[in-house]
Amino acid sequence: MGPGPINCYPRVLRAMSTPLVGQYDPVMTGYMNETMALYRHVFETRNPATVLIDGTSRAGIEAILVSAIEPGDKVLVPIFGRFGYLLKEIAQRCGADVHCIDVPWGEVFSLQQIEQALRQVNPKLVAMVQGDTSTTMLQPLEGIGELCHQYGALLYVDATASVGGNPLKVDPWQIDAVSVGLQKCLGGPSGSAPITLSPQFVEQLMPRHHIEAGIRESGDHEGNGRRIASNYFDLPMILDYWGEKRLNHHTESATMLYSARECALTLLDEGIDHAIARHKLHGRAMAAGLDGLNLERFGDQQHKMNNIVAVYIPQGIDGEVFRSVLLNDFHIEIGTSFGPLHGKVWRIGTMGYNARQDTVFHTLMAMEAVLRRMGHPLTPTQAINNAYDIYASA
Ligand SMILES: *Cc1c(COP(=O)(O)O)cnc(C)c1O
């Protein structure tokens, strides 16, 4: 019940044990096309360039940033938690002239703050996180894409932690590039990073389009822009592999393709709105239950993600001892925290397969037992009653 990775949906685990097929087997390429179509629904977009990057979520982030950024490009990174710092770091590695704005951990940005920075910095790209698990906050994105376009910038969003549990409407919100991972609300393992790119974003990459010498044929067209610094994460090459040309690039992992495909099918079979409502319901029940344990919530609750909640570790309780007792005696994992919150809060997730009433109840009961044993004052059964009240009123 941590902030991810989470327990996989059993059907995703089953899909991953499907026998492997060759890279150009029609079953494989058929699944690739199907997976592209499924993720267009997941992302609520019509972008043809909707593919998987092999690797964990940060493979998706790196592919987008290393392909989009040329040394010296101005990039604006609004930072509201750990993963904003990651975007800053990767953009700097790509040689960008990175400008950051930030808010205290536990808060999000207003449109005015973003607009002011756009006016001051005049960036080519804005890179930001939708849901930062480090603080549990969900940055509202409506209006930001439009603002970026007004100021001539493209918008990239890391929605790894939020997709599937909170609304993410790529086309209506005019987001140019999005990357995610499977191991949060999508209920899969880490190791595949679905991404989607707007036609404008792809067009901007095309001057850097290049074909490896060993597979180039006469008549092939290439751009004359600066070569993208990574071969593995070269998006135009990856699009050539996923596109009609099927130009050879890396060997797409069949196992992760099955996994990513099954995660999308699981979400779409349930219905995106239903899945979001489910994350919201179990997230509310968990938060109300934690109130009943006499624990104080962290951060601006109006902007909390549906799928995760943070609470202050009470005075006099060793947060790491508590977590290890919960893990060893009850087989329940909850999250620690990073940076300015290190040692201050626990983070408890209700995401993907773990967003269920039984997991919420089991977690609250186990936490109650261990907290009482460690001397934390609380009213017995209040946590479960609070959660029951949320379920009864749903
Ligand atoms: C969890 C998370 C990641 C994870 O990245 P990995 O490379 O899969 O470990 C990335 N971004 C955000 C916003 C996250 O919450």
Confirm or reject: Cβ of 173 under 6 Å from ligand 1. Answer: no
Ligand 1 centroid–CA 284 distance in Å is: 23
Domain assignment present for 84: yes
pTM as predicted: 0.97
Q: Are residues 315 and 215 in the same domain?
A: no
Nearest CA to ligand 1 atom 5: 57
Cβ atoms of 192 and 215 within 8 Å: the answer is no
Among 238, 268, 298, which residue terminates a domain? 268
Nearest CA to ligand 1 atom 1: 161
Give the contacts of 59 (CB within 8 A, at least 6 positions apart).
53, 193, 233
Burial class (CB in 10 A: 0-12, 13-18, 19+), 131: buried
Nearest CA to ligand 1 atom 6: 57
Q: For the chain, give the percent of residues with pLDDT over 70.
A: 100
Per the prediction, the chain carries an average pLDDT of 97
Q: Are residues 304 and 218 in the same domain?
A: no
- Return the pLDDT at 188: 98
Q: Are residues 83 and 139 in the same domain?
A: yes
262 pLDDT tier (thresholds 50, 70, 90): very high
Task: Look at the chain and report how many structural domains it folds into.
Answer: 2
Confirm or reject: Cβ of 188 under 6 Å from ligand 1. Answer: no
Confirm or reject: Cβ of 58 under 6 Å from ligand 1. Answer: yes
Among 233, 268, 303, which residue terminates a domain? 268
Tell whether the model's pLDDT for residue 186 goes beyond 90. Answer: yes
pLDDT tens-digit series, residues 53-82: 999 999 999 999 999 999 999 999 999 999
Confirm or reject: Cβ of 129 under 6 Å from ligand 1. Answer: yes
Q: Which residues pair with 154 in a beta bridge?
A: 125
Confirm or reject: Cβ of 335 under 6 Å from ligand 1. Answer: no
- Return the pLDDT at 139: 98
Confirm or reject: Cβ of 179 under 6 Å from ligand 1. Answer: no
Three state DSSP letters for the chain:
CCCCCCCCCHHHHHHHCCCCCCCCCHHHHHHHHHHHHHHHHHHCCCCCEEEEEECCHHHHHHHHHHHHCCCCCEEEEEECCHHHHHHHHHHHHCCCEEEEEECCCCCCCCHHHHHHHHHHHCCCEEEEECEECCCCEECCCCCHHHHHHHCCCEEEEECCCCECCECCCCCCCCCCEEECCCCCCCCCCCCEEEEEECHHHHHHHHHHCCCCHHHCCCCCCCCCCCCCCCCCCCHHHHHHHHCCCCCCCCCCCHHHHHHHHHHHHHHHHHCHHHHHHHHHHHHHHHHHHHHHCCCCECCCHHHECCCEEEEECCCCCCHHHHHHHHHHHHCCCCECCCHHHCCCEEEEECCHHHCCHHHHHHHHHHHHHHHHHCCCCCCCCHHHHHHHHHHHHC
We report the CATH number of the domain holding residue 30 as: 3.40.640.10
Among 268, 300, 319, which residue terminates a domain? 268
Q: Are residues 190 and 284 in the same domain?
A: no
Confirm or reject: Cβ of 190 under 6 Å from ligand 1. Answer: yes
Q: Are residues 20 and 74 in the same domain?
A: yes
Q: Which ligand 1 atom sits closest to the C-alpha of 59? A: 7
For residues 154 and 68, give the distance between their C-alpha atoms in angstroms, rounded to a whole number.
10
For residues 205 and 193, give the distance between their C-alpha atoms in angstroms, rounded to a whole number.
19
Domain assignment present for 3: no
- Return the pLDDT at 218: 85
Domain assignment present for 4: no
Nearest CA to ligand 1 atom 15: 161
Confirm or reject: Cβ of 192 under 6 Å from ligand 1. Answer: no
We report the CATH number of the domain holding residue 338 as: 3.90.1150.10
**Residue 88: domain span:** 10-268
- Return the pLDDT at 292: 98
pLDDT tens-digit series, residues 85-117: 999 999 999 999 999 999 999 999 999 999 999
Ligand 1 centroid–CA 24 distance in Å is: 30
Confirm or reject: Cβ of 4 under 6 Å from ligand 1. Answer: yes
Q: Which ligand 1 atom sits closest to the C-alpha of 3? A: 1
Ligand 1 centroid–CA 181 distance in Å is: 7
Q: Which ligand 1 atom sits closest to the C-alpha of 183? A: 8
Burial class (CB in 10 A: 0-12, 13-18, 19+), 315: exposed
